[in-house]
Chain A
Amino acid sequence: MENFNYHRPATVNAAVALLKKSKGGSYMAGGHTLLPTMKQGLASPTDIIDLTAIKGFSGITVGKSAVVIKAGTTHMEVATSAAVKKAIPALAELAGKIGGVHVRHKGTIGGSIANSDPAADYPSACLGLGATIVTNKRKIPADAFFTGMFQTALKDGEIITEVSFPIPKKSSHQKFPNPASRYSLVGVFIAQGSDGKVRVAVTGAGPKVYRVPEMEAALSKNFAVSALAGISAKAKGLNSDMHATAEYRAHLIGVLARRAVEAAK
């Protein structure tokens, strides 16, 4: 690991200014991807701007129609929040399945989403619930946010401040972990919105989180496992590695989608 300057700004504006001033700085909102990458010598930012000390950067507000989670909220806070468990139980369950206990106490929702790891869990909740990602500059719908593997719509210096999740009628998150890393080998998030429209988001299977329109259409008409009969996910374009072939991942999408519909609450 190379030497770097460590900053702990108290405001978003100060963080933005520090990044601008640095030669090649990086924000950090938990560090669970950034630090291992630095240790391996794959990243060597000149400056680390730790966002977790920004005032008002963490916290959960459950309103009538949405759950708003500030970017610096840890996975553990979401997983154990009684209000989230009541409003969107699948979201709390998802947070409780990320990493191990240590990771959940340090990792944050903003950090996870900004990183856009193709096997991360939160992106599937954002896309599955039709969340809005709020930054210091604008509001970005989840559908426009995740642009590719480790790629997002965030501009240089832009900071996620909070994520707003519409409260669905019911939802479920089903995860089949990679046996070794426990990241999602495949994860499926299904939500039936207050308008009855269903969203199906898949993580871990492709280069980025994505929706499955055929399943959404069928489930919007009839939210039942039987509606998924005959719909199979395509293997083409899916990831293939020593843990799972593209065919196996496609198969798991179907299995997890059925389980999600069954378990949705």
Chain B
Amino acid sequence: MSDTGIGARVLRKEDKRFITGKGQYTDDINLKDQTYAYFVRSPHAHATIKSINTAKAKKMPGVVDIFTSKEVEEDKIGGLICGWMIHSKDGSGMKAGPHPILASGKVRFVGDQVAVVIAETREQAKAAAQAVVVSYGVLPHNVDAAQAMKTKAQVHDVASDNRVYNWSIGDEAATDAAFKTAAHVTKIDLINNRLIPNAMETRAAIGSYDTGSDHYTLYTTSQNPHVARLVISAFHGLAPEHKLRVIAPDVGGGFGSKIFIYGEEVTCVWASKRIGGRPVKWTADRSEAFLSDAHGRDHVSHAELAMDASGKIVGLKVHTIASMGAYLSTFSSCVPTYLYATLLSGQYKIPNIYAEVDAVYTNTAPVDAYRGAGRPEATYLLERIVETAARELKIDPAEFRRRNFITVFPHQTPVIFMYDAGDYGAALDKALEMSDYKNFPARKAASAKNGKLRGVGFSAYIEACGIAPSAAVGSLGAGVGLWESAEVRVNAVGTVEVLTGSHSHGQGHETTFAQLVSERLGVDINNVAIVHGDTDKVQMGMGTYGSRSGAVGMTAVSKALDKIEAKAKRVAAAVMEASTDDIDFKDGTFTVKGTDTKMAFGEVALASYVGHKFNSSEIEIGLKETSFHDPSNFVFPAGVHICEVEVDQDTGLTKIASYTAVDDFGTIINPMIVEGQVQGGVAQGIGQALLEGAHYDRESGQLLTGSYMDYNMPKAANMPHIENFKLGFTFTKCPSNPLGMKGCGEAGAIAAPPAVINAITHALGVRDIAMPATPLTVWNAMQPMKRAAE
């Protein structure tokens, strides 16, 4: 291992500019003659738009123009799409209602954008937006997933019972038969609470139309600028792809919420032409982010787990209602289906699984992928019911899990996936040891002396990430392929530029991708530049989400590096007058086998470009290679997390006493960055379990948690002390990519919620507690116990 190669704890190259305020985020960019957009948003959860009067607002100072769906329709700008077709059990396609970039005829949630005001300043645009008079005809609304199929509030004409699809996976008859043989059945009802992503940087866009070249540019906070360009071009019909450049510069966090194509961004780039080519800039304020960013989770589930007399699981049945919100966001449909129910086997041998999912419309912000996307929901359900079953059977929860672990690989689950490698017992052993599980009773007794209830909870999670291969996801309904691209350009002096279709919005690609190059070519990481996020610079790529940049994106880089190495060997052989087969390449030096004749990588790069020493009709000039990598399988990171909590009996306040995370991510490029991903993911998971929850008022349909006064973002003080926050790793190599990498970005957010809730229910001795387990919720749960004790 070199100092900067694979496995090195290299400090992040990008952090200097981030922490000294030199990052270039979309809002930092200002174009000449720029105007500012402000959106008029619906104050109602559900209403018809009777009329929009912009006359007074148009006369206000600084107003350039105001647009509504009328102008959108005049220009034939298409609506937002959902890019993954899901078919119901009965074979019918999902019922996608119209999703115009500015609401047309109807608003469907509080915050739905109705009109855009464009003015010389942001303040002027905002003031004029308040003067736009919209006449609404208020309709009945529903914000509750569980009520969606019963309510009179019909969100879209195409879905009479608000049902987008009724999808199923697994063999129902076989599962029912297995349940008939069961010695014990555990049943559970769960709600997976709705979350609001809260990336530190809110969404922003600058759309700019060049009247001279008939060319558009969109700067935007995107996790996948090429996909944005493809959709805006092909579906919104704004311009062909060569007439549209999408740039996603530094992006301050996404957690999934910036994968999607939103109406506001499309509006900005479209409106620029409408106003004669002046750029149109929009930066969401935090209130808009709460209202209009795609939310996450929001499932209502019933599950049953069947065991035989020896405590072996024989079957699992699940029914889930998944709220999609008011519209189908870009990838929303695949989240509660192929990213959710396919994970219901977890780490366990479950011979029979049947799951049915009703996706429903509600009068709420659209729901789509959020850190983990479906996999946290699956893990929460499975790890809650497994823990509950172990308690009912009076088997230690660690032992119950071990008894049911998959131990032979590859393993085909009944729900599509073929797990390729893993060692779940090793992770459990390590987590038990690191958390000092055997001495838990002593710690519980010590807590009790201080009036605290202590509990311990487990979570053995599996994640499927690096979604692939393209043909397989296509057969499941995906509208796109899920490969990744890379171009490696070696400059004449031997420095390297890597153009990747992955996109970094906090992950540290500028460091980790450079580490791979450093490892392979023996080049210092400071001589490697990573270029991403600009459709004019980088070849088509698929972006970053679902922990795919390592396993898929870096594999593309690795394959391009293979080609670079092969080509460089040919050049080196020609220059050193040897056979290509006789050239060794190690630590940045090409050597003729058995001799001391050698060339440094930089010398070979220079030779490639000057072309003096080889026949350019046999070897092409230059050193630049491209690879498009389509993986052969998903990757399957997995691990065991153990959480201990202390509950204050007086107040219901829960503290994370300790948290142990043991993960198998395969090959790790930069342990420091990976540890940060685990810590951050666990923090988000603890947030879901204890703190965060989007709350819509049933009566009014208003978002009650629309600011940090009411939406409880995780804070440092909510986390376990760093000394009690233990991270460990086990290793099985991923067989489906040459680097052996899995993925680490979502693991913590997937694993933590059930670990925390299992610990709280253990502490209180209750069957269930709702997330977020706020002091009020926990105190309420303790009242029946107290009354019983009295």
Q: Which partner residue on chain B sits nearest A39 by CB separation?
A: B285
Instruction: Flag whether B211 is at the interface (Cβ < 8 A).
Output: no
Question: Within residues 22 to 61 of chain A, which ones have a CB less than 8 A from any CB in chain B?
Answer: 41
A1 and B776 contacting across the interface, CB-CB below 8 Å: no
Instruction: Flag whether A11 is at the interface (Cβ < 8 A).
Output: no
Q: Which partner residue on chain A sits nearest B718 by CB separation?
A: A179
Instruction: Flag whether A102 is at the interface (Cβ < 8 A).
Output: no
Other-chain residue from A180, A251, A252 in contact with B711 (beta carbon distance below 8 A): A180
- Chain B count of residues within 8 A CB distance of the other chain: 21
Mask for B635-674, Cβ within 8 A of A = 1, else 0? 0000000000000001111000000000000000000000
A243 and B776 contacting across the interface, CB-CB below 8 Å: yes
A244 to B777, CA, bound (A): 9
A residues less than 8 Å from B435 (CB atoms): none
Instruction: Flag whether A255 is at the interface (Cβ < 8 A).
Output: yes
B774 and A251 contacting across the interface, CB-CB below 8 Å: no
B residues less than 8 Å from A179 (CB atoms): 691, 712, 774-775
A242 and B710 contacting across the interface, CB-CB below 8 Å: yes
A255 and B776 contacting across the interface, CB-CB below 8 Å: no
Question: Within residues 210 to 257 of chain A, which ones have a CB less than 8 A from any CB in chain B?
Answer: 242-245, 248, 251-252, 255
Mask for A13-25, Cβ within 8 A of B = 1, else 0? 0000000000000
Most buried by B among A1, A245, A248, A251: A248
Question: Within residues 123 to 137 of chain B, which ones have a CB less than 8 A from any CB in chain A?
Answer: 123, 130
Q: A179-B775, A242-B695, A243-B776 are in contact. Are A252 and B651 (CB under 8 A)?
A: yes
A255 and B774 contacting across the interface, CB-CB below 8 Å: no
A255 and B709 contacting across the interface, CB-CB below 8 Å: no
Q: A1-B123, A180-B708, A242-B704 are in contact. Are A251 and B779 (CB under 8 A)?
A: yes
Nearest CB of chain A from residue B132's CB, rounded to whole Å: 15
- Number of A-B residue pairs at CB separation under 8 A: 40
Instruction: Flag whether B53 is at the interface (Cβ < 8 A).
Output: no
B776 and A180 contacting across the interface, CB-CB below 8 Å: no
Q: Which partner residue on chain A sits nearest B653 by CB separation?
A: A176
Instruction: Flag whether A5 is at the interface (Cβ < 8 A).
Output: no
Instruction: Flag whether B615 is at the interface (Cβ < 8 A).
Output: no
Q: Which partner residue on chain A sits nearest B695 by CB separation?
A: A242
B residues less than 8 Å from A180 (CB atoms): 691, 705, 708-713
Instruction: Flag whether B24 is at the interface (Cβ < 8 A).
Output: no
B651 and A255 contacting across the interface, CB-CB below 8 Å: yes
A21 to B713, CA, bound (A): 43
B708 and A181 contacting across the interface, CB-CB below 8 Å: yes
B650 and A248 contacting across the interface, CB-CB below 8 Å: no
B residues less than 8 Å from A181 (CB atoms): 708-710
A90 to B705, CA, bound (A): 33
Instruction: Flag whether B30 is at the interface (Cβ < 8 A).
Output: no
Nearest CB of chain B from residue A230's CB, rounded to whole Å: 14
B779 and A248 contacting across the interface, CB-CB below 8 Å: yes
A88 to B704, CA, bound (A): 39
Q: Which partner residue on chain B sits nearest A245 by CB separation?
A: B776
Q: Which partner residue on chain B sits nearest A182 by CB separation?
A: B715
Nearest CB of chain B from residue A254's CB, rounded to whole Å: 9
Nearest CB of chain A from residue B196's CB, rounded to whole Å: 12
Instruction: Flag whether B780 is at the interface (Cβ < 8 A).
Output: yes
Mask for A166-196, Cβ within 8 A of B = 1, else 0? 0000000000100111000000000000000
A180 to B653, CA, bound (A): 13
A residues less than 8 Å from B712 (CB atoms): 179-180
B residues less than 8 Å from A244 (CB atoms): 775-776
Nearest CB of chain B from residue A249's CB, rounded to whole Å: 9
A248 and B780 contacting across the interface, CB-CB below 8 Å: yes
B651 and A243 contacting across the interface, CB-CB below 8 Å: no
B650 and A243 contacting across the interface, CB-CB below 8 Å: no
Most buried by B among A1, A176, A242, A244: A242
Question: Within residues 737 to 790 of chain B, which ones have a CB less than 8 A from any CB in chain A?
Answer: 774-776, 779-780
Question: Within residues 686 to 726 of chain B, which ones have a CB less than 8 A from any CB in chain A?
Answer: 691, 695, 704-705, 708-713
B residues less than 8 Å from A248 (CB atoms): 652, 775-776, 779-780
Nearest CB of chain A from residue B543's CB, rounded to whole Å: 32
A80 to B708, CA, bound (A): 28
- What are 12 A-to-B residue pairs whose CB atoms are below 8 Å? A179-B691, A179-B712, A179-B775, A180-B709, A180-B710, A242-B695, A244-B775, A244-B776, A248-B779, A248-B780, A251-B779, A255-B650
Interface residues of A (CB under 8 A from B): 1, 41, 176, 179-181, 242-245, 248, 251-252, 255
Q: Which 6 A-B pairs have the closest CB atoms?
A: A180-B712, A181-B709, A255-B650, A179-B712, A180-B710, A248-B776
**20 extra interchain contacts, Cβ-Cβ under 8 A, other than A179-B691, A242-B704?**
A176-B775, A180-B705, A180-B708, A180-B709, A180-B711, A180-B712, A181-B708, A181-B709, A242-B705, A242-B710, A243-B774, A243-B776, A244-B775, A244-B776, A245-B776, A245-B780, A248-B779, A248-B780, A252-B651, A255-B650
Interface residues of B (CB under 8 A from A): 123, 130, 650-653, 691, 695, 704-705, 708-713, 774-776, 779-780
